[in-house]
Structure 1
Amino acid sequence: MLLGVNHNTAPIEVRERLAIPSGSLADATRTLVHQPGIREGLILSTCNRVELVTLQEDSSESDGKADLLRFLHEYFSVPPGEIQPHLYEFREREAVRHLFRVASSLDSMVVGEPQILGQVKESYTVAREVGAVAGNLEGLLQRAFTVAKRIRNETQIGSSSVSIASVAVDLALKIFGSLEGKTILLVGAGKMSELAARHLIQQGASTILVANRTQVRAEKIAEELAGPKIHTEAIAFSDLHAQAARADIVISSTGSSEKIFHASHGQHFLQQRRNRPMFFIDIAVPRDVDPGLNEVEGCFVYDIDDLQQVAQANLADRAREAEVAENIVSKEVDKYQQRLQSRDAVPAIVALQQNAEAIRVAELERLQSKMAGLTPQQREAVEALTRSLTAKLLHPQLVALREAARSKDAE
């Protein structure tokens, strides 16, 4: 069963209340699989989605959903009534399809972006480490990774793909026209911030300021981004508000649970900038920038949901490749279901083969006295003959068992 919310079903105000920092993912996953009725589980938490993938003891729809709703309510302290209107639910075949689409970036805000597969793999790694993933989900996730790789290799869906960070850069370009000579402040030195910086440099930004709670990390990113025509500087996080006015564009992507920039900062920044406009692109969930800052004349704030409008412009170019990818997903779902059906028949097949082999061996032992005069070569010939006859006699029954398993699933 898969239960979740994403950028299509829930606004950022809801998603940020369910967001799980990477450092808390292991604890959340352990808590999930300790819920009654849940055997295996995985949590995918990104800026655009929070999804629970579970294997449950009870096939009852109401009970299974109730277990997950209770987890969401208790772990996040969010009333069920505030979550339910935004939830989607998939079971069995449709859950497999959804997971394949997510891993392949067909369900992303920006179709074709490459980050989601790494995020699914990270969730999988954490789930394995805490013992939340075993045989059933293990096989499903490994197949999802294979499907995502196949789509990346066989389609052009990722050839012009952009991440949320690069969409933010597109927005900056629309605002400024050119980034030549602009100063960019990156708040948070994670993967998203670093990716944004590299896109900005490609577009002509010449000064990159980096602020991070861990100064060593900020210095490392600044050093990696520096170049002959690129000036970079790591600033102390404690000096963030004193230094921020130097930047034309602030891209904030931290894991802070509290706002970093408030409406009260706006006038102070603009005074220092002599009323030159200042743009904030907030790609963090929970948000780093108070929406009220957008009310200050000269300050412009865009959060991750605002970026979706820019992302839509890229969808038309990817529509054809996405259609090809969707066909691959459909075929892979069918193949996965067939494997499950065949696996259901395995115990009966093994039992039939073992029983037939026991009968064959018993009959040969019963005839030992009559075969006493046979040479070793003749004995080997008899052995081979009986094995061949047994296999041929079993073949129709084995085929029937496999077909019966497929027919049962189809019903």
Structure 2
Amino acid sequence: MARLLLIALYSKQPDIQLTLVNRSVDKAQELLDEVSNRGGSRASVAPATEMWDVIGRSDVVFTATASKDPIITKADLESIERSLMLVDISVPLNIAGDCGEVDGVFSYTVDDLKKVVQANAEKRQKEVLKAKRLIGEEVNKYKLWQASQGAVPYLAALKSMAEGIRLTETDKMSKKLNGLDETERAAVDKLTRHIIDQLFRPIYYSMKDAEEIDAKKNKIWALKSMFNLEPEYKRRLLPQGSTPAQLPAGA
């Protein structure tokens, strides 16, 4: 048990200052040497006869012996004039159950540690669930964004179609606009552009709405079908003068 305790302590603080007390100093040193590859640069050993001297200058005391009777009692601690944490990992217990009643002494057993471990496990589980929920939300946001990107080429095609219609109709009216000077013609051009932008603005914003992925895909399909659109990269492959409706099936 002592070996596992040392390994656990070194895993958190390899250079922790500690004193290993044992009836046999040689056995204590052998144990330190056995786990020296994990830490222990500030570790030392002491005989059992010096146990109370060691406890008197310690902040935390772990007990892990095979003693059938408590080796630390409430009466033993009455003279301690500093805060002290006792952690008993022995079976049977090495620390008397009433030691925690001494002012400044905090006594814990294996069962107490199990409760702490359980509480930490439950806390971690809650954090895991929270993390999974956040990841799920971010994944969903990404999928929505990805789906909305599917609308981009169709919006570009719609804008191109609208601009083509605007230029065609403006050209048809060119004779009636002969009486206008350059400033007035520019004003008409700006006005027609503005009208188109205002007409299609709700469509653009609609594609950015937060909604279910299927709803987003249905909206894109409706846009494509309603205006008989093909993405810009496909329109560039069409023969000059043709329309998307003239493409063979499956194009």
Instruction: Compare CA radii of gyration and give the structure with the larger one.
Output: 2
Normalising by structure 1, report the TM-score.
0.28
Larger relative contact order, structure 1 or 2 (CA cutoff 8 Å, min sep 6): 1
Normalising by structure 2, report the TM-score.
0.44
